[in-house]
Amino acid sequence: MVMSKFYWLAHRRYVENNRMRWHAETADEAFWLGYWQSHVNVAYFERAEKTDLGMDELGALLLKAMPADGRHLEAGCGAGYWVAALRAAGRNVEGIEYSRPLVELVNAVYPQLPVGYGDALAIDCPDNTYASYLSFGVVEHRREGPEPFLAEAFRVLRPGGRILITVPYLGRVRGLKARLGVYESHPPTQPFFQYGFSAGDFGALLRDAGFEIEYTRPLSIHRLLLEEIGPYRWLYDRIGSAAWRAAVHRLLGGRDGHMLLTVGHKPA
């Protein structure tokens, strides 16, 4: 499968009960292999290891929130970018991924990276193992809801361990568009792809799983505007640049975004 750069523009969007749904294709093993396989080469991992995480929107927050000691798990690590980048920054991170063909490809290309096959709904480790649990764009793909992922994250974290998790965000821009009736008026017939959550909705799910919430932060304002604002996408296609993206982040970063980062911990 060859993935379009903006494949998500074809997704149908529907909001119901303060939760957004994207419909297009099923986020199964074949999808994720197609999504990631073009990234899996030595240069990709070497770039990750050379990344200055202090200058990265998410990376800076991760370094600040992750304990310096102990083992850390990224559940649903994809091609392993964050595993490589965070290990280079001194964190003892390992990753698990549900797409077995993708894991085999990563292991063949970069065998020194600790990425293995695993199911984030049934992690192969004892209770209270990890100092932090990382999950970026994973739990929203379960049609029945993310609750079992969060329960398993709680189990494998040691007391006081932190969860750092991102999900698509139903924030100001998407909330306004929903109120204006811009999205689908009826549930789409295409396969379910993912949910988007408000901060209150997702925070309640984490608290129900036993976590205490420390803070939330919207991320990726540029991606949000590309997806949701047609004139912005038109302008960026014609005059956009790295400087453009940096300026948008300085002006609007943290106010809204495509993703929502929630940081919490398992009570000691």
pLDDT tens string, the chain, 268 residues long: the values are 444 556 778 899 999 989 999 999 888 888 888 889 888 999 999 999 999 999 999 999 999 999 999 999 999 999 999 999 999 999 999 999 999 999 999 999 999 999 999 999 999 999 999 999 999 999 999 999 999 999 999 999 999 999 999 999 999 999 999 999 999 999 999 999 999 999 999 999 999 999 999 999 999 999 999 999 999 999 998 988 989 999 999 999 999 999 999 999 999 9
Q: What is the pLDDT of residue 35?
A: 87
Q: What is the pLDDT of residue 5?
A: 56
Q: What is the pLDDT of residue 3?
A: 44
Spans of all domains in the chain: 7-265
* CATH superfamily of domain region 7-265: Vaccinia Virus protein VP39 (3.40.50.150)
What ranges make up the beta strands (E) of the chain? 12-16, 19-23, 71-75, 92-97, 115-117, 130-136, 157-168, 192-197, 212-219, 259-265
Q: What is the pLDDT of residue 10?
A: 84
Q: What is the pLDDT of residue 2?
A: 41
Give me the sign of the Cα torsion angle 252, 253, 258, 263. negative
Q: Between helices 81-88 and 57-65, what is the axis angle to 10°?
A: 60
Question: Whole-angstrom Cα distance, residue 171 to residue 259?
Answer: 9
Give me the sign of the Cα torsion angle 47, 53, 59, 64. positive
Rounded to two decimals, the pTM is 0.94
